[in-house]
Amino acid sequence: MLQEPDRIDLRSHVPYYLQLIDLLKGKIKRKVWQPGEQIPGEPDLCTEYGISRTVVRQALRELELEGLIVRKKGKGTFVAEPKISESLAQKLTGFYQDMVERGLKPVTSVLRQEVHPASEKVAKHLQIPAGTPVIDIERLRFIDDVPIQLVTTYIPFDMCPRLMDIDLTNRSLYEFLEKECGLFIARGRRFIEAVTATDAEARLLKVERGAPLVMLDSISFLESGKPVEYYHALHRGDRTRFEVELVRYREPHPTSEPPVLEANDLPGGQGFVR
């Protein structure tokens, strides 16, 4: 198949900026420009395609909104790194298991694994008295050496004391809880919110301060309904997207006809009979 010429058709009725979007998307798709690579600046694109700067800016703005490019002030425009799809918003799996199922190899750096008295917030989520000992685990998760998620997990100490002695560097927390502690997570409640990175979060996740993050707060429950885990996770907004599958069920339709009323069933014994 012949490849379309890499130029703007000035005689076409298709707006120039839409043509430019298609051309630039083609280069990204064909890996002419690699993820993370800087693309030509606005003046160069104007010269290359023989169009105005207004057209170029409109096309780049659309590509940025689609998440295909990243524009860094004072540095230029770069091809966006591909986002990692996660299904944690709809499935009762942990980050480690979710990534393994997608054929990726997650690596974990355990930043903290300690026992602390539960704060008011943590105690409320876990439905325990404030000050109750909880295991506090902070982990930084990587994919291909890139930090993707910063998560802090709280579990009541008396539910699984052995957790304090386990190395979670390359192990699923949920797998350990189920197989070693007999704690099967049956359901969960998760909250998603857009936030910005603080100085400390930005330093760990290798993003700029104020960069967009996706916050995922989760409470996990046993089959008995007792909370077993509360976690607070921050995902890089530039590298993460959540998948949610929605299902619509049909409303039940009446399977039988309305009952037929006889004349003597109606008030006064009068009416239509079918």
For 195-247, how does the pLDDT look when each residue is reduced to its tens digit (9 = 90+)?
999 999 999 999 999 999 999 899 999 999 999 999 999 999 887 777 666 66
Q: Is 35 helix (H, G, I), strand (E, B) or coil?
A: coil
pTM of the model: 0.63
pLDDT score of 130: 95
pLDDT score of 136: 96
Output 134 or 266, whichever has higher pLDDT: 134
Mean pLDDT score, 114-123: 95
In this structure, the dihedral spanned by the alpha carbons of residues 149, 155, 159 and 165, taken in order and rounded to 10 degrees, is 60
Bridge-based pairing of strands 106-117 and 185-196 is unpaired
In this structure, the dihedral spanned by the alpha carbons of residues 107, 126, 162 and 232, taken in order and rounded to 10 degrees, is 10
Bridge-based pairing of strands 69-72 and 76-79 is antiparallel
Mean pLDDT score, 113-131: 95
Pick the CATH number of 84-242 from 3.40.720.10, 3.40.1410.10, 3.40.50.300, 3.30.565.60: 3.40.1410.10
Cβ-contact 126, 225 below 8 angstroms: no
Mind listing the pLDDT tens digit for each residue in 68-83?
888 888 888 988 877 6
Range in 41-50, 84-93, 100-109 the model is least confident about:
84-93
CA dist 110 and 10 (Å) reads: 57
Tokens standing for 190?
Answer: 């998760």
> What residue segments make up the domains of the chain, in order of their start?
16-79, 84-242
Mind listing the pLDDT tens digit for each residue in 133-190?
999 999 998 888 889 899 999 999 999 999 999 998 888 888 889 888 999 888 888 8
pLDDT score of 100: 62
At the topology level of CATH, where does 16-79 sit? Arc Repressor Mutant, subunit A (1.10.10)
pLDDT category of residue 90 using cuts at 50, 70 and 90: very low
CA dist 135 and 110 (Å) reads: 13
pLDDT score of 244: 67
pLDDT above 50: residue 44:
yes
CA dist 134 and 137 (Å) reads: 10
Mind listing the pLDDT tens digit for each residue in 4-28?
457 898 888 999 999 999 999 989 8
